[in-house]
């Protein structure tokens, strides 16, 4: 039985983890399917939502697969997770995740690879690796400190601290906090809105923005100018600007 599924909602692909009996723990087969999907998402997909069956987003690495690997085998296993999650963060489509229940360990690493995160009140976040004699291996030590700071991640790993949904929203683990049961609906709504953007703008946000943020100011300003020129020079951008100036496009509203 497949551990994932894909459904179409207009221009949005909904990618679902389907291991509810395991709290959607991530075994190698599931991580591989994540990589296969994001390596070649459907041509019609302008945005993707990552969600999960059952009460939990993901309880992390499936410990049933944690055999006594050699150092080399463990290194290769971690690199495999990196390759597959990198296809989410640095892929061609924006990704929104709908979080609920356990978002811990590898599940939090998966969520951190997505671009926009929506949480329900049941969501809780933790890195229990420290208590299990492990260290994160799915990119968490790179992505999560960018969201909350290395000091907060160190606290989570050293003490086993658990953040609830409200606390996670407050420190930046999620962008939106919605009512119970509304996470997937909100995620699809946001993804549909993102899918309406000019493709070149979405590309710039996914590919250029992170590099600009990490660059020295002078290089960042140059990359920004180049990307702004490319985006504004596209036929799509010119038509959208004409529509705005001719009052055929909506204005920003709260």
Cα separation, 118 vs 110, whole angstroms: 13
Instruction: Pick the catalytic residue from 68, 76, 129, 182.
Output: 129
Structure tokens of 181?
């049961």
Beta strands in 109-228 (DSSP E): 116-119, 124-126, 163-164, 176-177
The residue to which tokens 């658990």 are assigned: 162
CA distance 244 to 252: 11
Residue 147: Cβ-neighbour burial (10 angstroms; 0-12, 13-18, 19+): middle
Beta bridge partners of 26: 61
Residue 101 φ/ψ region, left for φ over 0, alpha for ψ in the -120 to 50 degree band, beta for the rest: left
Distance of CA 242 to the CA centre of its chain: 33
CA-to-CA distance for 50 and 109, rounded, in angstroms?
A: 13
3-state secondary structure string across 136-168: CCCCHHHHHHHHHCHHHHHHHHHHCCCEEHHHH
Catalytic residue among 7, 76, 109, 182: 109
**68 classed as catalytic:** no
- The verdict on whether 109 is a catalytic residue reads yes
Active site residues: 109, 129
């Amino acid at each position: 039985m497949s551990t994932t599924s894909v459904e179409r909602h207009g221009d949005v692909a909904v990618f679902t983890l389907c291991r509810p009996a395991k709290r959607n723990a991530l075994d190698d087969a599931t991580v591989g399917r994540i990589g296969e999907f994001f390596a070649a998402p459907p041509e019609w997909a302008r945005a993707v939502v990552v969600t999960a069956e059952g009460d939990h987003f993901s309880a992390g690495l499936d410990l049933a697969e944690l055999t006594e690997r050699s150092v080399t085998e463990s290194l290769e296993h971690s690199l495999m997770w990196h390759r597959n999650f990198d296809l989410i963060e640095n892929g061609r489509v924006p990704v929104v995740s709908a979080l609920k229940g356990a978002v811990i360990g590898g599940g939090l690493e998966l969520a951190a690879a997505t671009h926009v995160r929506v949480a329900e009140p049941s969501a809780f976040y933790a890195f229990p690796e420290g208590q299990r004699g492990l260290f994160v291996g799915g990119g968490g030590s790179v992505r999560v400190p960018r969201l909350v700071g290395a000091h907060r991640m160190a606290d989570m790993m050293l003490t086993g601290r658990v953040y609830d949904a409200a606390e996670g929203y407050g420190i930046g683990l999620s962008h939106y906090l919605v009512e119970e049961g509304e996470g997937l609906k909100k995620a699809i709504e946001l993804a549909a809105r993102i899918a309406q953007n000019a493709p070149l703008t979405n590309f710039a946000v996914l590919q250029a923005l992170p590099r600009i943020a990490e660059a020295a100011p002078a290089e960042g300003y140059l990359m920004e100018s180049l990307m702004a020129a490319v985006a504004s020079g596209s036929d799509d951008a010119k038509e959208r600007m004409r529509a705005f100036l001719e009052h055929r496009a909506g204005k920003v509203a709260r």
